[in-house]
């Protein structure tokens, strides 16, 4: 299957590292003009340089802005008035005992993980529907369906994204714009290796260490290893492509079988 996004402009929020950077790289490789977003100009410039080294000739835009704030979204929209593909990837997470999560922490998680995506969708969806083509995606998590006891505020914010995605898909019905969420499973990102080696034998080579970690601490995974960010990016590129035109309003899983369900 040839996925060609030449002539399309994509924005990936929170794309200076990890899953976001992998998605931005994959979209650029598919030919999209890709906007790399982060709060710090230096981090954005460094990510752009890495992507350009990976994809020579890539058409990249440095889209600096804090999309967790209304002012940040307004500024980003001013510098990037239209996009064809919007990937709402930015998010925060962290462990916290359920009864110790304060109101301010709940609000912060919703501002970053949910309202950033809502604001950006409000900003860019009308242009997509007016042009008769567009792709909006929300990077959710297995935690949306299997709420982690150690970070329920994160899990609930990702559950909310599934509802946001389905709702905006209805708003875009019949326009040629698709809206979907991506349920990502346990992923090999920055800091995860250190976390894994805190729980398994430090002398094990990485491949064996991660498989031991999954066996002991994530036994419901059918993949038996951590997912690589590029594997999530592959699904995002497909959902961004013309070939995915009949998939909308969906919560599509790339979770390695982590969620024990035959439907999302």
Q: Which residues are catalytic?
A: 154
Q: Among residues 2, 5, 38, which one has the least CA distance to residue 21?
A: 38
- Beta partners for residue 61, in sequence order: 35
**30 and 241 in contact (C-beta within 8 Å)?**
yes
Q: Give the strand order in the sheet containing 251-254.
A: 60-64, 33-38, 9-12, 85-88, 134-141, 177-184, 251-254
DSSP codes joined into one string, 127-143: HHHHHT-EEEEEEEEGG
Give residues with Cβ within 8 angstroms of 219, minimum separation 6: none
3 state DSSP class of 30: coil
Cα(231)–Cα(135) distance, rounded to whole angstroms? 19
């Amino acid at each position: 299957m040839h996925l060609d996004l030449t002539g399309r402009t994509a924005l990936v929020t929170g794309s200076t590292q990890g899953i976001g950077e992998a998605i931005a790289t994959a979209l650029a490789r598919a030919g999209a003009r890709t906007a790399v977003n982060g709060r710090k100009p230096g981090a954005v410039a460094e990510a752009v340089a890495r992507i350009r080294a990976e994809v020579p000739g890539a058409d990249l835009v440095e889209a600096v802005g804090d999309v967790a704030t209304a002012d940040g979204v307004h500024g980003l929209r001013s510098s990037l008035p239209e996009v064809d593909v919007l990937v709402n990837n930015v998010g925060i997470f962290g462990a916290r005992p359920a009864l110790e999560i304060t109101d301010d922490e709940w609000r912060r998680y919703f501002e970053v993980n949910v309202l950033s995506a809502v604001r950006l969708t409000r900003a860019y969806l009308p242009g997509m529907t007016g042009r008769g083509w567009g792709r909006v995606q929300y990077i959710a998590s297995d935690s949306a369906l299997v709420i982690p006891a150690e970070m329920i505020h994160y899990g609930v914010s990702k559950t909310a994204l599934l509802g946001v995605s389905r709702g905006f898909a209805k708003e875009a019905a019949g326009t040629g714009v698709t809206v979907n969420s991506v349920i990502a499973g346990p992923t090999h990102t920055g800091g995860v290796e250190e976390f894994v080696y805190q729980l398994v034998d430090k002398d094990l080579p990485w491949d064996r260490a991660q498989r031991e970690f999954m066996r002991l601490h994530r036994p419901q995974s059918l993949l038996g290893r951590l997912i690589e960010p590029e594997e999530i990016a592959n699904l995002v590129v497909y959902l961004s492509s013309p070939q995915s035109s009949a998939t909308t309003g969906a919560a599509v899983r790339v979770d390695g079988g982590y969620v024990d369900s035959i439907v999302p």
